[in-house]
Amino acid sequence: MAEAAAEPKKKREMLTSFSIIFILLAIVALLTVFLNGQTFVIDGEEGSVVGAKLSDFLMSPVRGFADAIDVCLFVMVLGGFLGIMNKTNALADGIAVLVQKLKGKEMTLIWILMGVFALGGTTYGMCEETVGFYALLSATMMAAGFDSLTGAMIVLLGAGVGCLGSTVNPFAVGAASAALDGVGITGNQTVFIGLGLVLLVASYIVAALFVTNYAKKVKADPERTLMSASERAAAAAEYSEAGDKVSQEIKLTGKQKGALICFGLAFLIMIISFIPWEDLGVTFFNPDPEGTSWSSILTGVPLGQWYFQEATTWFLLLGIIIGIISGLSEHEIVDEFMAGAGDMMSVVMVIALSRGVSVLMASTGLDRFVLAAASNALAGTSGILFSIGSFVLYFLLSFLIPSTSGMAGVSMPIMGPLAAQLGFSPSVMVMVFCAASGVVNLITPTSGAIMGGLALSRVEYATWVKFAIKIVAVISVICMVILSVAFMMIH
């Protein structure tokens, strides 16, 4: 009896990310069958829900792969890039040196890093672009005595609250403003930037406090981690090398320093390249739009106009350069690249499967049906009820349509005029959309960036939800209060 009592309690295994998304995909398919033939009117045009056939359900992951091929290819090449980098040992040694220098200042580092990611989110909608940082931050946080979940929090919540408080984000504010222009309504840029900053600062403070509070608990007692034993084992197998070296006296070689410089340059150029500089009035990277820009030499596209194809090319090039600088042979460069790309296949499949949900909704008309029904229900409500109802509408829709630009194009021609008819500001409605979709994109399983990033950090989706649900609830309430006040004050 004593031996039996000494056995550790077996924890119930959680569903994998793949199973969760498949279940959601099945629910969406069944909903379309149940609502088959239901009509709706959007922009004066009548449409109807088309029930998904078995073939639609089975094909949706493949169609999701085709729809997300750019980001999937980027993730695979990024894996190859990291594979070459890991072969040099420069990253593990560099992280160890960084942690040694920042000993005792880890909490300050968390605030700074989250602020950097938030800046990327509010300016250019940094989301899928964050996937490459999960592995780096997970390794760094584990080396500092935290867990890989802490690293995932920094990236996901940092960029997430930035998108939530979008100011000039072209995929959120820009797309929504353009959609309003299409129906004859001009958005107020002052409202976008001012209200966006208020939402950004409020949500950033809440998120950073949650992350640092969790990090302190894990630092003091590793058993207080939310990660299961299997997750911790997987993270340790992948990222513990840097942590093991923290207690050692590490000196970087000249080749390792060169590799780290290229590594940092790779991500710095990626960040610069995704920011829409011309929309911000900056012409440095493309002084002559009619001619060939100096910054378009490598990809044919100037910095500020890059997307995943250009970023993929950039990381492929830098991976080869790092291999050459580090003295790797041609066989080693190819072998490590292929092995690293192969390690990313589970991440790629999660991204493709997630995209399949939104593809199925769009092809069956379910997304437009839900939007039309909800907008009709909101007509005639008071300012506070309209604000809360609109937020809840976008909150629910964003689970099924994780693309902010896609959501803006579908919804804003309906919700903007509706707000104007009721005497409210369409510009505030744009920020309702940004805030609600931003909150959902902190937790939705239909986001390839979230599911792929968590997979890189070796964190199961259920574990992330266990932590993030409280943050989502608190930030949602704060956003609804701010937006309700804005609807009453701004007309």
pLDDT tens for the chain, residues 1 to 491: 444 444 444 445 556 667 777 888 898 899 999 999 888 877 667 888 999 999 999 998 898 888 878 878 887 888 888 889 878 888 767 766 776 777 778 888 899 889 888 987 887 677 776 776 788 788 888 888 899 999 999 989 999 999 999 887 767 887 788 778 777 888 887 888 889 999 999 999 999 999 999 999 999 999 999 999 899 998 888 877 655 555 566 788 888 889 889 988 887 887 788 777 777 778 888 877 776 788 888 888 888 888 778 888 998 999 999 999 999 899 999 999 999 888 778 778 877 777 787 788 888 988 778 777 877 777 777 778 888 988 998 898 787 666 676 677 667 877 888 788 778 889 999 999 999 999 998 998 877 778 888 988 999 999 999 999 999 999 999 999 999 999 888 87
Report residue 374 as tokens. Answer: 């909800």
For residue 2, give the amino acid letter: A
7 in any annotated domain: no
Parent domain of 389:
15-40+57-67+89-252+344-489
Long-range contacts of range 373-381, CB-CB < 8 Å, 24 or more positions apart?
A: 373/40, 375/414, 375/415, 375/418, 378/418, 379/418, 379/421, 379/422, 380/422, 381/422
Backbone angles phi, psi at 255, to 5 degrees: -65, -40
DSSP letter, residue 227: S
Alpha-carbon distance of 122 to 129, in angstroms, equals 13
453 in any annotated domain: yes
Structural domains counted in the chain: 1
163 in any annotated domain: yes
Alpha-carbon distance of 429 to 370, in angstroms, equals 18
- Beta-bridged to residue 46, according to DSSP, are 41
Report residue 90 as tokens. Answer: 């420069």
10 in any annotated domain: no
467 in any annotated domain: yes
| Residue 8, pLDDT score | 42
Report residue 191 as tokens. Answer: 């409202």
398 in any annotated domain: yes
72 in any annotated domain: no
273 in any annotated domain: no
| Residue 211, pLDDT score | 95
434: nearest Cα among 231, 247, 177, 208: 177
The 3-state secondary structure of 34-77 reads: HCCCCEEEECCEEEECCCCCHHHHHHHHHHHHHHCHHHHHHHHH
| Residue 17, pLDDT score | 63
